[in-house]
Chain A
């Protein structure tokens, strides 16, 4: 069993403000997990804004250096200061998909230009036919084809199609790992499922592991194998997605689950969240505690009652 990605006790601290009134923000604190090469999986990171999930993703992509701890990809340390060759090799194995496809693509350039420049760089070729074939293959994987996309500008596509193109671009170097930062939150609800189903088929049919970052528990439950739930930079609960989400244990996880809008009692107008639940979850914020193992395989952060 070899590890694909190993995150060891990673912390990230940002310093805000100037000389006076300086303060530090702990965006991520002591995060650890690992992915293996043998079994592709969808690994989900859940948390609200400000919980550090995007910072964690940026560190895994090598866009940000960890303040403490290290991130190893196939045994090699990821850092912002990799050489160009090293960086290229790394990027051909780990590819990002961003939140808003309309911002990821330049509105004045044709979509195929992004695909072809990615292909040219990672396949190290300038042969038109090879590049076209690589583009078409990648687009086929996401249910589009080069014929449909060629000559189109981003505004001519729907949000769902454009996000598919963004995923196709990421798939050109055949990476074993995709990092998708809220890939569906800017896509219409009716088109959302096509993206989520796509991520699922990438895992099942192509063996691509996906780190899926989201705050939407419903889609997380639908596709993930394992999840971690983060609150203010700390992992508060992690484990098998079904086990954790069916019966969350940490107060914050419970609050998240209670906040999911259910359609079971549509029209009943039930919206109130139990205020005790919010207070309890907020009371845990920023407290250290430690992660302990539970019988069913999950790990939960517990606090010493003082």
Chain B
């Protein structure tokens, strides 16, 4: 507790988590999370963006204390400062993790259809998840759940329903309900809206945001869709090939990015009212079992120079509260013009 400043709830320090496999004497190592250092503050939404196979799911697996072989933490730590005390989930024992799970550290999963048990009523699922951490019995527990559901604009009837009887949006709201019923201090949301269509997506997002502000929790929100981050996150971190390449306040990230990959992600978003040709990034994300030398983005980078091929750029502060891992960050041009000056939040 002593080294951590009061505003941080999570401190990740030099975290390395690799998939280590050894089949028939052949060793294979996939460096899914490679030296990530970052913090998440109290009462903020931290967005994590990255392509599939960029290591973002492995990273949040560590954060969610769901580290199973072949994934192993090789170095570093991920320390939470909960009200009940600090815990380093990268090295904690199963009992210690059990004590904080759901109650302090909670997880909204992707794909609400596969999360809920199809042959169990929602009410039973709530009991399975939350009754023990909450320590309430019978009627008190039910009242708590019904009250919580009403906050999510769900009728109490859903407790008697089976998952298939609910629409996609309602199911997703139920999973949010499950994750938040214990009022956790820290919520990890892994692409909670990817399978939903636009109207429901916005509803679910505003709900997560509302609940977060109500309870004053911190949320780590993972999605590859930058337009979601634009509207959800207070700060955004971009993961590329297992490394954090840039992080900063949302508005700065969109209109004054300092890493070419961020600039590209923002520029490739289509917008209504604009039909100019959008550039698409060529190439594919690198193979994490054999990442390129130097900066891992250099094979696809329009700004790459010789130095990028050999030396790995450090993640350094380039603007207030904004860090970028790029040798040429001062040459990154924002590709999108803001409708209002940067730094002014409407």
Residues of A that sit less than 8 Å from B by CB: 48-50, 157-161, 188-194, 196-197, 215-219, 221-222, 242, 245-246, 255-257, 259-273, 278
A157 contacts across to B, CB distance below 8 A: 284
**Which residue of B254, B265, B274, B345 contacts A190 across the interface (Cβ within 8 Å)?**
B265
Q: Looking across the interface, which residue of chain A has its beta carbon closest to that of B261?
A: A190
Beyond A262-B230, A271-B231, list 19 extra A-B contacts (CB 8 Å).
A158-B284, A188-B52, A196-B270, A197-B280, A221-B270, A256-B198, A256-B199, A259-B198, A259-B202, A261-B201, A261-B228, A262-B231, A263-B254, A266-B255, A267-B254, A269-B209, A271-B232, A273-B206, A278-B199
| B272:A260 contact, CB within 8 angstroms | yes
Of B133-141, B303-311, B334-342, the segment with at least 4 beta carbons within 8 Å of chain A is B334-342
| A190:B272 contact, CB within 8 angstroms | no
A sample of 11 cross-chain residue pairs with beta-carbon separation below 8 angstroms, ordered by A number, consists of A50-B167, A161-B284, A189-B265, A192-B268, A197-B280, A216-B198, A218-B269, A222-B275, A259-B201, A262-B227, A273-B203
Known: A190-B281, A222-B270, A261-B202. A266 touches B197 (CB 8 A): no
Q: Does B251 contact A (CB under 8 A)?
A: yes
Query: Which residue, A157, A160, A266, A269, has most C-beta atoms of chain B within 10 A?
Result: A266
B51 contacts across to A, CB distance below 8 A: 158, 188, 190-191
**Which residue of B199, B249, B251 contacts A259 across the interface (Cβ within 8 Å)?**
B199
* Min distance, Cβ A277 to any Cβ of chain B, angstroms: 10
**Which residue of B230, B272, B277 contacts A218 across the interface (Cβ within 8 Å)?**
B272
| B338:A221 contact, CB within 8 angstroms | no
Within 8 A of A (CB), among B27-61: 51-53
How many of chain B's residues touch chain A, expressed as a range? 35 or more
Q: Looking across the interface, which residue of chain B has its beta carbon closest to that of A161?
A: B284
Q: Does B323 contact A (CB under 8 A)?
A: no
**Which residue of B197, B280, B340 contacts A215 across the interface (Cβ within 8 Å)?**
B197
| B230:A263 contact, CB within 8 angstroms | yes
* Min distance, Cβ A104 to any Cβ of chain B, angstroms: 16
Known: A189-B268, A260-B272. A271 touches B205 (CB 8 A): yes
Q: Does B187 contact A (CB under 8 A)?
A: no
**Which residue of B200, B231, B265, B279 contacts A48 across the interface (Cβ within 8 Å)?**
B200
- Complex: how many Å from CA A196 to CA B280? 9
| A49:B197 contact, CB within 8 angstroms | yes
B345 contacts across to A, CB distance below 8 A: 267-268
- Complex: how many Å from CA A193 to CA B280? 6
* Min distance, Cβ A187 to any Cβ of chain B, angstroms: 9
* Min distance, Cβ B245 to any Cβ of chain A, angstroms: 13
| A270:B231 contact, CB within 8 angstroms | yes
Q: Looking across the interface, which residue of chain B has its beta carbon closest to that of A281?
A: B199
Q: Does B78 contact A (CB under 8 A)?
A: no
Known: A188-B224, A272-B206. A262 touches B270 (CB 8 A): no
Known: A193-B280, A271-B231. A264 touches B338 (CB 8 A): yes
B116 contacts across to A, CB distance below 8 A: none
| A266:B230 contact, CB within 8 angstroms | yes
Q: Looking across the interface, which residue of chain A has its beta carbon closest to that of B199?
A: A259
Q: Looking across the interface, which residue of chain B has its beta carbon closest to that of A216?
A: B198
Q: Does B180 contact A (CB under 8 A)?
A: no
**Which residue of B199, B202, B271 contacts A263 across the interface (Cβ within 8 Å)?**
B271
Q: Does B346 contact A (CB under 8 A)?
A: yes
* Min distance, Cβ B174 to any Cβ of chain A, angstroms: 17
| A267:B251 contact, CB within 8 angstroms | yes
B346 contacts across to A, CB distance below 8 A: 265, 268
Q: Identify the 4 closest CB pairs spanning chains A and B, nearest first.
A: A267-B251, A267-B250, A194-B280, A271-B206
B280 contacts across to A, CB distance below 8 A: 191, 193-194, 197
Known: A189-B265, A193-B278, A193-B279. A159 touches B52 (CB 8 A): yes
- Complex: how many Å from CA A215 to CA B169? 15
- Complex: how many Å from CA A159 to CA B231? 25
A189 contacts across to B, CB distance below 8 A: 224-227, 265, 268-269
Known: A268-B346, A271-B206. A217 touches B272 (CB 8 A): yes
| A266:B231 contact, CB within 8 angstroms | yes
B13 contacts across to A, CB distance below 8 A: none
- Complex: how many Å from CA A292 to CA B30? 60
Query: Which residue, B167, B230, B232, B253, has most C-beta atoms of chain A within 10 A?
Result: B230
Within 8 A of A (CB), among B247-271: 249-255, 264-266, 268-271
| B336:A263 contact, CB within 8 angstroms | yes
Q: Does B168 contact A (CB under 8 A)?
A: yes
B292 contacts across to A, CB distance below 8 A: none
Q: Does B234 contact A (CB under 8 A)?
A: yes
* Min distance, Cβ A125 to any Cβ of chain B, angstroms: 33
Q: Does B69 contact A (CB under 8 A)?
A: no
* Min distance, Cβ A145 to any Cβ of chain B, angstroms: 14
A267 contacts across to B, CB distance below 8 A: 230, 233-234, 249-252, 254, 345
- Complex: how many Å from CA A246 to CA B279? 23
A193 contacts across to B, CB distance below 8 A: 268, 270, 278-280
A215 contacts across to B, CB distance below 8 A: 197-198
- Complex: how many Å from CA A246 to CA B345? 26
Q: Looking across the interface, which residue of chain B has its beta carbon closest to that of A272?
A: B206
A246 contacts across to B, CB distance below 8 A: 272-273
A194 contacts across to B, CB distance below 8 A: 280-282
